[in-house]
Structure 1
Amino acid sequence: MIALVVHLELAPSHEAAFDELMRTTLDGIRALEPGTLVYALTADPARPAIRILLEVYRDEAAFRAHEAQPHVGAFLDARGALLARPAEVDWLEVRDLATGPAA
């Protein structure tokens, strides 16, 4: 498994537009990406312009499939105008992963 932690700083007054763009992207991920195990949008209440994406993929092929999706391409094309600076990405190797029991 591989994981990404994507650090984003949004441009002033672009929080709502970014969150809406993410909602559309997350809908596509839920519907079309079985190899995407976790894709979480997080926000820091103390720093409203900060978003951190937590992404976990089954393997490199699942990540490549994610990157090839039209909803991901649309997200990447649109997000640049909403950021204060380029994203910072940490690439990680997942050593172990626990999920709760299915509801």
Structure 2
Amino acid sequence: MSKGFGLVVRFALRNQEAATAFDALCARTLEGIKAREPGTLAYVVHVPEGEPLVRVFYELYADRAAFEAHEEQPHTKHFLAEREQHLTGVEVTFLDAIDGKVAARS
């Protein structure tokens, strides 16, 4: 686990219409991640309790190179280009994994 690299991203959405569109954008992006990114170990979208206009992503990559490969994918570039119209803010926290458990991939 010592090579793991992750991030937590908190997105504040403009309104419910923007949240619906953002969720659809996320779903399309996840299709590409699942199909083309073996180095992406976890990519999970959360809605915090009581905050319907917030989305929190938890992303875990095998290493920094896997994250950089993720950033170069067409589906990721599309997501990054399209997301801004739905947002009022973004907070990113980068994480270097020390220890933990990651489920075996099927």
Report the TM-score when normalising by structure 1. Answer: 0.93
Q: How many pairs are equivalent? A: 102
Give the unaligned 5+ runs of structure 2.
Answer: none
Aligned equivalent of 2:6:
3
Aligned equivalent of 2:56:
52
Q: Alpha carbon RMSD of aligned pairs, Å?
A: 1.4
Q: Equivalent residues in 2 for 1:1-103 (5 A)?
A: 1-13=4-16, 14-85=18-89, 87-100=90-103
State whether residues 12 and 84 of structure 1, in contact with CA within 8 Å, keep that contact through their aligned partners in structure 2.
Answer: no
Q: Which amino acid in the other structure matches residue 44 of structure 1? A: P
- Seq. identity, %: 40
Aligned counterparts of 2:70 and 2:105: Cα–Cα separation in 1 = 24
Deviation of residue 12 (structure 1)? Answer: 1.1
Deviations 1:20-46 (A, max 9, x none): 000000010000000000000000241
